Structure 1
Amino acid sequence: MIALIGLPGSGKSTVGRQLARRLQLPFFDSDHVIEQRLGCSIREYFEREGEDRFRDLEASVIDELTQGPAAVLSTGGGAVLRPENRQNLHARTQV
């Protein structure tokens, strides 16, 4: 699995889609997975529930996605703020 990290708006999703296509691997954007599960935007959830609750959910999604089959994963801009995310990404993916 390959994981892309970086600042918001730095092109992780754009590059991730292209890389996944070239490698013929599935592509996952952790922010999009979170929004699909929530049924609302991350911004709305963040404002309503707070950063800690959002980061808990984000950590759970990253944990789940990094245990799956080979793929390209684009993480949210703040995903590396949590030590558990850094550990899972480092142990389970090429970052």
Structure 2
Amino acid sequence: MHYNHTIVLVGPMGAGKSTIGRLLATELGLNFFDSDREIEARCGANIPWIFDKEGEEGFRKRETQTIAELLEAPDNIVMATGGGAILKPENRDIIGKYSTVIYLHTTVAQQLQRTAKDKNRPLLQTENPEAVLKALFEVRDPLYREAADIIVNTDRQSPKSVVRTIMKKLNSL
């Protein structure tokens, strides 16, 4: 089956956007892009380095440009966004204009479990990652919900199970 819409996955770090996005793209016969990996490829540097050299604001500018370029291309794709992409109104506008938006919801406890050993997450390199995740969730959850066409809970579900749920919801749109 070749799906005739672009899909954008939003949600917090550790929700499974990249893993689920790859599986979903395969299921739909579309190409998969991870906006964070695309930014790294275009810069020739990893995200912690970009944050270190350009700050979060510099990274967010690159993120907006990358998301716009990927979504304005003529082909339908599946794209996983970084957890903070939702913060910028222009990102919310562009993903809403060009795609079906799926919010992969997960709890802070699940995020902590999934991100515990990941050194590639600059915002979690702190004494209290749980407090950071809770604070991010408070700000971002309403934005994810507002942007979403579909909301899927990923807690304690296998990526394949989440993809099956997404497929059912897409087919009923």
1:24-63 residue pairs with structure 2 within 5 A? Answer: 24-63=29-68
Partner of 1:22: 27
Aligned length: 95
In the alignment, structure 1 segments of 5+ residues that lack a partner are none
Partner of 2:81: 75
Bigger RCO of structures 1 and 2 (CA < 8 A, at least 6 apart): 1
Question: Identity percentage over the alignment?
Answer: 48
Cα distance between partner residues in 2 of 1:80 and 1:15: 18
Length-normalised TM-score, structure 2: 0.54
The one-letter amino acid of 1:19's match is L
Length-normalised TM-score, structure 1: 0.98
The one-letter amino acid of 2:76's match is A
Cα distance between partner residues in 2 of 1:78 and 1:27: 19
The one-letter amino acid of 1:6's match is G
Give the alignment's Cα RMSD to 1 decimal.
Answer: 0.6
* Structure index of larger Rg: 2
- Per-residue displacement from partner, 1:29-55 (whole Å, max 9, x unpaired)? 000000001111111110111111110
In the alignment, structure 2 segments of 5+ residues that lack a partner are 1-5, 102-173
Cα distance between partner residues in 2 of 1:88 and 1:15: 22
Cα distance between partner residues in 1 of 2:50 and 2:79: 22
**Misfit runs of 4+, over 2 Å:** none
